[in-house]
């Protein structure tokens, strides 16, 4: 831990003032070094009050996803987040996770960035990830399963995000099958899972999660279908706190279900079930009603022709969600 991180840790521990002398003694550095590190923290957005003869007091923290800020919220001895790579800007946290994975980074490594310049959705689509307004992160997992057995991880991630959003904001976050988290009829989070594997072995699996937290508006093409936690609640949510919460939930789910299954909770959170849906298969448009989620995570659809089909991937439009008319 650097002197700056240690200083922040001491300031966080108490609401009382800490004198420069005490800080210098406890950190084992000079008064001048305490002052210098205090200025570094201020430059990062921390508000530190100083009062003559009393000392210093932390009165405000920035909405930062720095390692120190995430660690301050990550209590306990979980594996997810034991290694954190926090970057001001990156092409895509999934791409960085692959680079880290190829270089041997351990299971549970978290890559988080303030901004993504090439944020990705599925099938090469763009994920809008401006600086400061969302939580963009990826988790590097090394499960011991076959490549075809890992589909559950996207569903677990969606449940973990719903739990995290619900506990921090009280918003009724739900899931649009398979990988969107929605509030009401709008998308607040998308999940892109990628993997590196051989036929018989997964090198690593990467759920990449993007949650819109502070956006006050969206580009016109997204305005009708995207929302943020700020737009829903009028309040600012700490990205570091949300990240820590989602990691805790994801690790608990992973420990219980692995990556090949998922909890019953997914079904109850899924807004697609019970609604009219449409999809395209082999160039043909199919409409029907989603009736459930199969054991392997596929969406079960009763078509208008009375045939029951299982949809395991692809786009499924859901009546009313994102303003769709099916």
> CB of 234 within 8 A of CB of 214?
no
Q: Does 18 bind ligand BT5 (CB under 6 A)?
A: no
Beta carbon of residue 14, minimum distance to ligand BT5 (angstroms, whole number): 35
Q: Which of residues 133-162 bind ligand BT5 (CB under 6 A)?
A: 136-138
> CB of 164 within 8 A of CB of 259?
no
Beta carbon of residue 161, minimum distance to ligand BT5 (angstroms, whole number): 11
Nearer to ligand BT5, 64 or 116 (CB): 116
Nearer to ligand BT5, 11 or 161 (CB): 161
Q: Which of residues 93-132 bind ligand BT5 (CB under 6 A)?
A: 93-94, 116, 119-122, 125-129
Q: Does 80 bind ligand BT5 (CB under 6 A)?
A: no
Beta carbon of residue 272, minimum distance to ligand BT5 (angstroms, whole number): 13
Nearer to ligand BT5, 82 or 125 (CB): 125
Nearer to ligand BT5, 4 or 186 (CB): 186
Which of these segments, 101-109, 143-151, 185-193, 263-271, binds ligand BT5 (CB under 6 A)? 185-193
Tokens of 99: 């680079």
With tokens 């090394």, the residue in question is 142
Q: Which of residues 275-294 bind ligand BT5 (CB under 6 A)?
A: none
277 - beta bridge partners?
288, 318
Q: Does 56 bind ligand BT5 (CB under 6 A)?
A: no
Q: How far, in Å, CA of 250 to CA of 90, rounded?
A: 23
| Residue nearest ligand BT5 (C-beta atom) | 190
Name which position in 210, 288, 297, 311 contacts ligand BT5 (CB under 6 A): 210
Name which position in 64, 86, 92, 272 contacts ligand BT5 (CB under 6 A): 92
With tokens 């901004």, the residue in question is 115
Beta carbon of residue 274, minimum distance to ligand BT5 (angstroms, whole number): 21
Nearer to ligand BT5, 109 or 116 (CB): 116
Size of the site for ligand BT5 (CB under 6 A): 28
Q: Does 272 bind ligand BT5 (CB under 6 A)?
A: no
Nearer to ligand BT5, 49 or 88 (CB): 88
Q: What is the 3-state secondary structure (H, E, C) of the chain?
A: CCHHHHHHHHHHHCCCCECHHHHHHHHCCCHHHHHHHHHHHHHCCCEEEEECCCEEEEEECCCCCCHHHHHHHCCCCCCCCCCEEEEEEECCHHHHHHHHHHCCCCCCEEEEEEEECCCECHHHCECCCCCCCEEEEEEEECCCCCHHHCCHHHHHHHHHHHHHHHHHHCCCEEEECCCEEEECCEEEEEEEEEEEEECCEEEEEEEEEEEECCCCCCCCCCCCCECCHHHHHCCCCCHHHHHHHHHHHHHHHHHHHCCCCCCCHHHHHECCCCCEEEEEECCEEEEEEEEEECCCCCEEEEECCCCEEEECCCCCEECCHHHCCC
Q: Which of residues 212-271 bind ligand BT5 (CB under 6 A)?
A: 212, 222, 226
Tokens of 284: 């043909």
Q: Which residues are near ligand BT5 by CB under 6 A?
A: 92-94, 116, 119-122, 125-129, 136-138, 179-180, 187, 190-192, 208-210, 212, 222, 226
């Amino acid at each position: 831990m650097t002197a700056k991180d240690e200083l922040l840790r001491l300031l966080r521990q108490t609401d009382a003032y800490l004198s420069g002398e005490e800080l210098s003694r406890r950190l084992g550095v000079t008064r001048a070094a305490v002052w210098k590190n205090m200025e570094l923290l201020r430059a990062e957005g921390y508000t530190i009050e100083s009062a003559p003869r009393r000392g210093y007091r932390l009165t405000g923290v920035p909405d930062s996803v720095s390692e120190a800020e995430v660690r301050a919220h990550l209590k306990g001895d979980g594996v997810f987040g034991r290694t954190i790579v926090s970057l001001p800007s990156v092409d895509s946290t999934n791409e960085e996770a692959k680079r880290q994975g190829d270089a041997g980074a351990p299971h549970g490594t978290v890559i988080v960035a303030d901004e993504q310049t090439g944020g990705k959705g599925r099938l090469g689509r763009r994920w809008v990830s401006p600086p400061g307004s969302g939580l963009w992160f990826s988790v590097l997992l090394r499960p011991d399963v076959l490549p075809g057995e890992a589909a559950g991880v996207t569903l677990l991630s969606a449940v973990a995000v719903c739990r995290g959003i619900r506990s921090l904001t009280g918003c009724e976050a739900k899931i649009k099958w398979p990988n969107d988290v929605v509030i009401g009829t709008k998308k607040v989070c998308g999940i892109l899972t990628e993997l590196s594997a051989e036929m018989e072995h997964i090198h690593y699996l990467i759920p990449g999660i993007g949650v819109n937290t502070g956006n006050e508006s969206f580009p016109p093409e997204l305005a009708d279908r995207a929302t943020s936690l700020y737009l829903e609640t009028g309040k600012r949510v700490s990205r570091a706190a949300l990240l820590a919460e989602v990691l805790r939930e994801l690790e608990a789910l992973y420990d219980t279900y692995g990556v090949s299954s998922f909890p019953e909770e997914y079904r109850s959170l899924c807004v697609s079930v019970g609604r009219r849906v449409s999809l395209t298969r082999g160039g043909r448009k199919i409409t029907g009603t989603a009736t459930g989620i199969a054991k392997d995570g596929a969406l079960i659809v009763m078509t208008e022709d009375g045939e029951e089909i299982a949809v395991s991937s692809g786009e499924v439009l859901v009546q009313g969600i994102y303003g769709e008319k099916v």
